[in-house]
């Protein structure tokens, strides 16, 4: 019954829902009651709200992803402010002395002796380039004495980064090659047809351990960083105290990107990967 159909004595105006009957003249919030009650849902508004909700979730997810990605690509903030003095320990944990290196390692040593310095994720080769017979190096007695920054009796003990300067392949993919492993030789400042080198099996880069780890073949164009060693005159113990050359590959700064090795660093003995493939710069 519509209000206009109701006679003057009619005490009520009947609404569309009997439950909503109300006396004539009584104030009601009619508009709101009808909106809640008539089931006439605005689908357009509902869809817009759904889209906004979905957009919010996607935005939150994307924000989380971007935040997570940024957190991932941000370089670690850990590091040190200067190069530490780090005593080297042999694979058995004992102090590594010059006498031990000179008696046990030579230019013919095939296994890799690796120590971390100055950070825990920066491995380095320890090499003794002196001929195994202890005699003067020559074309017929391969080896090197008086190597730049070399220590020991004949300044033949050196250390270089064991992370390739091309794309960062670490040891044992980059490895020292003693004479005879590959037939390849190089004319170097040290000797003609030098048969020993550091070589990376990832893409063929080669470095000269007798001459500051300079490039013999690419694709790497930078030498390997060199760790500087010193000998304690009283004990003969070997220590690392600095690093020169380019930044260790994969680090924005050689001193940043992991925690310090601390006051000692122990050698690890690794089996090399040898592959006689040489890059284009020979």
Least CB distance to ligand FES at residue 140 (A): 31
Which C-beta is closer to ligand FES: that of 13 or that of 222? 222
Distance CA 141, CA 124 (A): 26
Least CB distance to ligand FES at residue 250 (A): 11
Least CB distance to ligand FES at residue 170 (A): 9
Q: How many residues in the chain?
A: 282
Q: Look up residue 150 and give its DSSP letter.
A: -
Q: Kindly state whether residue 166 participates in binding ligand FES, applying the rule CB under 6 A.
A: yes
Strand extents, DSSP E, the chain: 12-13, 22-23, 86-89, 112-116, 123-128, 157-161, 174-177, 197-200, 206-208, 214-217, 226-231, 238-244, 264-266, 268-270
Least CB distance to ligand FES at residue 197 (A): 13
Q: What is the DSSP pairing of strand 264-266 with strand 86-89?
A: parallel
Confirm whether 166 is a catalytic residue.
Answer: yes
Q: Kindly state whether residue 169 participates in binding ligand FES, applying the rule CB under 6 A.
A: yes
Q: What is the DSSP pairing of strand 226-231 with strand 12-13?
A: unpaired
Q: Which of 166, 199, 251, 274 is flagged as catalytic?
A: 166
Binding mask 205-244 for ligand FES (x = CB under 6 A): x-------------xx------------------------
Confirm whether 203 is a catalytic residue.
Answer: yes
Q: Which of 199, 203, 251, 274 is flagged as catalytic?
A: 203
Could you identify the residue written with the tokens 């033949």? 156
Least CB distance to ligand FES at residue 199 (A): 9
Of 10-18, 88-96, 153-161, 195-203: span binding ligand FES (CB under 6 A) = 195-203
Which C-beta is closer to ligand FES: that of 199 or that of 254? 199
Q: Which of 112, 144, 200, 248 binds ligand FES (CB under 6 A)?
A: 200
Q: 168-173: which pairs have CB atoms within 8 A and are 24 or more residues apart?
A: 168/249, 168/250, 169/200, 169/201, 169/202, 169/203, 170/123, 171/112, 171/114, 171/123, 171/125, 171/270, 171/272, 172/112, 172/270, 172/271, 172/272, 172/273, 173/200, 173/201, 173/202, 173/273
Of 52-60, 82-90, 200-208, 221-229: span binding ligand FES (CB under 6 A) = 200-208
Give the residue numbers marked as catalytic: 166, 203
Where on the chain is the footprint of ligand FES (CB under 6 A)?
164, 166-169, 174, 200, 202-205, 219-220
């Amino acid at each position: 019954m519509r209000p206009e159909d109701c006679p003057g004595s009619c005490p009520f105006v009947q609404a569309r829902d009997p439950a909503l009957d109300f006396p004539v003249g009584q104030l009601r919030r009619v508009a709101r009651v009808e909106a809640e009650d008539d089931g006439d849902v605005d689908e357009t508004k509902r869809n817009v709200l759904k889209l906004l909700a979905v957009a919010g979730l996607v935005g939150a997810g994307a924000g989380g992803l971007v935040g997570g990605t940024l957190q991932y690509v941000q370089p670690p903030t850990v590091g040190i402010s200067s190069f530490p003095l780090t005593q080297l320990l042999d694979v058995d944990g004992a102090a590594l002395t010059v006498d031990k290196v000179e008696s046990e390692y030579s230019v013919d040593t095939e296994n890799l002796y690796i120590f971390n310095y100055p950070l825990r994720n920066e491995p380095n080769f320890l090499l003794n380039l002196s001929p195994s017979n202890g005699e003067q190096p020559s074309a017929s007695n391969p080896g090197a004495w008086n190597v730049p920054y070399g220590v020991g009796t004949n300044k033949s003990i050196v250390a270089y980064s064991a992370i390739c300067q091309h794309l960062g392949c670490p040891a044992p993919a980059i490895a020292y090659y003693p004479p005879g492993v590959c037939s390849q030789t190089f004319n170097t400042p040290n000797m003609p047809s030098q048969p020993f080198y550091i070589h990376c099996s990832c893409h063929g880069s080669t470095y000269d351990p007798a001459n500051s780890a300079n490039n013999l073949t690419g694709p790497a164009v930078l030498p390997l960083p060199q760790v500087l060693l010193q000998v304690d005159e009283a004990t003969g113990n070997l220590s690392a105290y600095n690093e020169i050359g380019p930044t260790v590959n994969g680090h924005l700064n050689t001193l940043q990107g992991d925690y310090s090795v601390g006051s000692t660093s122990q050698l690890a003995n690794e089996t090399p990967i040898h592959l006689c493939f040489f890059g284009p710069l020979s």
